[in-house]
Structures are given as structure tokens and as C-alpha cells.
Amino acid sequence: MTLTDPHPPKAPSGPDGVLARLLDHPARGSRTALVAVPALALLGALVVGGVLMAIEGVAPLSAYGEVVRGVFGRSRGLSDTAVVATPLILLALGITVAYRARVFTIGAEGQYLAGALAGTAFATAAPLRALPAAVLLPCALVVAVLTGAAWSGLTGWLQSRFGASVVITSLLLNYVAAAALAWAVRVGIRDPGAFTPQSRPVAGLPDLPGTEIHLGFLFALAAVPALAVVLRRTRFGFRVEVLGASPEVLAVNESRPAATRLTVLAVAGAFAGLAGFVEVAGVTERMTPAFATGYGFTAIIVALLGRLRPVGVLVAALVLAGLTVGFDEAERVFVIPSATVGVIQALIIVFFVAGDALSRRKAG
């Protein structure tokens, strides 16, 4: 997330200099600021949230106490948090890959819907749904991943072929996916026995032994170190970094930036598609018109707060999921507008963006 440098490095001051310059992106600045800025942004947002609740006549400290109790103080609090965090982690990991390469897609929501739809359509199709879940679910997951990748790859193709900005095209495709969802549950994959528009049920993902957390959380947990290794140790990870730092360098050295951009977008879409079907098979069990809940946008906050690092994403997703779960509980006790937690989450990202720019400016 460094500022775009209009001058790609031309005369290297020694190869190490160039590499260091390329690779300290995107989290330039001190190690302290790396963690301190997101933490302070969280704190600031919680303070403002507290003031808002105080204006509403709710004692902020007891409300936050209830939020904490909602997560840690009951048996289901932590497992609920893990379940809510699962799609956020997967979506934000995909966004991480894209944003590290400075490919700013905001189409995660649409890719998530497209993946979930395709996976559900596959798993509920007439001849297939008789298959045992152990065979059907992995196949449906693959279908969802491929659909997400294709939905996202489309924006990469539109950019390389027509020069259309990924930011805009990915967003427009979200609306197309939303329309597809509306049609599919009303007509396309509708459960004929259901009174309201919804798909047939999908065989559920098993819970992790001894918990009420579905298997998808394990996928998300496993994806974190896997992606960290891929980004750090592989040729693809290196290309992502170089594309983000300077597409020109990539172009003169080894590969076409457009091809890397397409791959990056496909990977982001694959994660989103996976997240979508995992959510169906693990949580909702059916597709309904209410399936689109804006996770694809919250995940952007998660990825940025996590400093576009897989481990950071994991932490940020758990924190935001904990806030959501905790506030759900707190709303049972206090009269808090349901949009409060959304405001706090959005304030975190606004404070973070401002704080990040300020700390970068001080660092020079």
C-alpha cells in the first residue's frame, strides 16, 4: 500500500538495493507501526463506539463487558466466533494476494455468491445429490473454487483486453451475481417443495470432533500458513510482490504483467468461491435470497487491518468476528441499534487508513 511510485527504479544501486526496495512493499515503516496502527485504530473505534452508546443511554463499559462475555463467557461464544471468522479469513486471504499485487478488486462479494451458487447447484442437481457426501462435497468445493476463479478472472481479462479498470468491473459484477442469486433461488435451483424461494439443502460439512465448529474453519486455518509460504517462498509469490511494486520491472524481466494479474485475480476469486460454498455447507445449508450479507466487503477491512499478511488476516478476522458475535449477545441485554457494530468496524478501517498514512509520512 505504498504510494504509487511514478519512477520505477531504473539504475539499480546494487541488486540488493532494488530487491529491498521492491520487497519492503506493502508494509513499509517500522515494525512497531505495523501492529500499533491497527491496534490504535481498533481502540479509537471502540472509544467512539462507546461514546455513541453513551449518547444512546447505554453504559459503554457494561455494554462492552457484555460483548466480552458474549465471546468468552459462554460455551458457544468461541465456536460462534470461529464460524463467523471462517468466510472472512478465506475471503480476506484472497484479497490479500490481490492487494499485495496492487490489483484492487472489490468483487469478492460477487465471487463469493457465484462460488456458493455453483457449488450448491452442483451438489443439489438431480443425479448427483444421491452420491455420498464424502464424494459430493469435495467435488462441489472444486466447482465453487473454479467458478469463483472464473468470475474474478473475467475482470482480469476485461482489463488486459479492453483496459477496463478492475476496480469498476469487479464491482459491477457483484450486482450481476446478486441478480443471479435472486433468479437461482426463485427458479433455477429452487427446492420445489419449499414455500419461499430457496435451494434444496446441501449435505453439511462435518463438525470438528468435540466442537461445534464446522470443518471449513480448519480449511481457513490451514490456508493461512500455506499462503504465507506461497507468498514468501515461491516464484508466484515473488511475482505478486514485483507486480505490486512495479509492473514495469516485471515486464522487462521475466513475464507479462497481464498474465500475473490474471493469475492473481483468479487466486483471489478461488478463495472467495471456496468461502462461499464452505458457508453454504457449513452454516446456512441452503441458498436463500438472504445469503448475501456483505462478507465480501467486510473482508476488505480484514485484509487491510491484517496488513495484507496471512497471519495478520487471521487475527483481524477473529477480532471482527468476535465483535460481531459479542454485539449480537449484547443486543439481547441492552437497547443498541444493530448497526452499531458495523459503525465500529467501519471506523476501525477509517482510523487505520488515516493512521497508516500519517505513520508512513513521519517515517518519510
Partner 1 sequence: MHTLFTLATLAAAIRLAVPVAVAALGEVLTERSGVLNLGLEGTMLFGALAGYTGARLGGPWLGLLAGLGAGAACGAVLALLMVVVRADQIVTGLAFTLFAVSATTYLFELSYTIGEPPPRIESLSMVPLVAIVLAVLVGVWFLLTRTVAGLVLTAAGDAPGAADALGYRVARVRSAATVVGCALGGLAGAMLVCGPLGLFVQNVTAGRGWVALALVVFARWRPGRAVAGALLFGLCDAAQLRLQGTATAIPYEVFLALPYLVTLVALMVRARRSDTPAALAIPFVRGRST
Q: Which residues bind partner 1 (CB under 8 A)?
A: 1, 3-4, 6, 52, 56, 104, 106, 158, 161-165, 167-169, 171-173, 175-176, 178-180, 182-183, 186-187, 297, 300-301, 304, 337-340, 342-343, 345-347, 349-350, 352-354, 356-358, 361
- Of 91 and 349, CB closest to partner 1: 349
- Of 89 and 154, CB closest to partner 1: 154
Shortest Å distance, C-beta 308 to partner 1: 10
Shortest Å distance, C-beta 81 to partner 1: 20
CA-based nearest residue to 287, from 147, 184, 357, 193: 184
- Of 49 and 216, CB closest to partner 1: 49
Shortest Å distance, C-beta 273 to partner 1: 19
Shortest Å distance, C-beta 151 to partner 1: 13
Shortest Å distance, C-beta 21 to partner 1: 15
| Residue 220, number of CB atoms within 10 A of its CB | 25
Shortest Å distance, C-beta 197 to partner 1: 11
Shortest Å distance, C-beta 132 to partner 1: 34
Distance CA 4, CA 18 (A): 16
Burial class (CB in 10 A: 0-12, 13-18, 19+), 362: exposed
- Of 216 and 246, CB closest to partner 1: 246
| Residue 32, number of CB atoms within 10 A of its CB | 9
| Cis ω before 26 (30° cut-off from 0) | yes
- Of 128 and 167, CB closest to partner 1: 167
**Grid cell in block for residue 69:** 462475555
What are the backbone angles phi and psi of residue 75, rounded to the nearest 5°? -65, -35
- Of 164 and 208, CB closest to partner 1: 164
Distance CA 188, CA 181 (A): 9
Which residues, 6 or more positions from 291, have their beta carbon under 8 angstroms from its beta carbon?
A: 113, 116, 181, 279, 280, 284
- Of 118 and 141, CB closest to partner 1: 118
The answer to whether 243 touches 250, Cβ cutoff 8 Å, is yes
The answer to whether 116 touches 144, Cβ cutoff 8 Å, is yes
- Of 205 and 336, CB closest to partner 1: 336
Render the burial of 245-254: b for 16+ CB within 10 Å, e for the rest: bbbebbbeee
CA-based nearest residue to 191, from 124, 98, 247, 289: 124
Distance CA 287, CA 155 (A): 25
Shortest Å distance, C-beta 143 to partner 1: 21
- Of 178 and 230, CB closest to partner 1: 178
Which residues, 6 or more positions from 185, have their beta carbon under 8 angstroms from its beta carbon?
A: 197, 198, 199, 287, 288, 289
Shortest Å distance, C-beta 13 to partner 1: 17
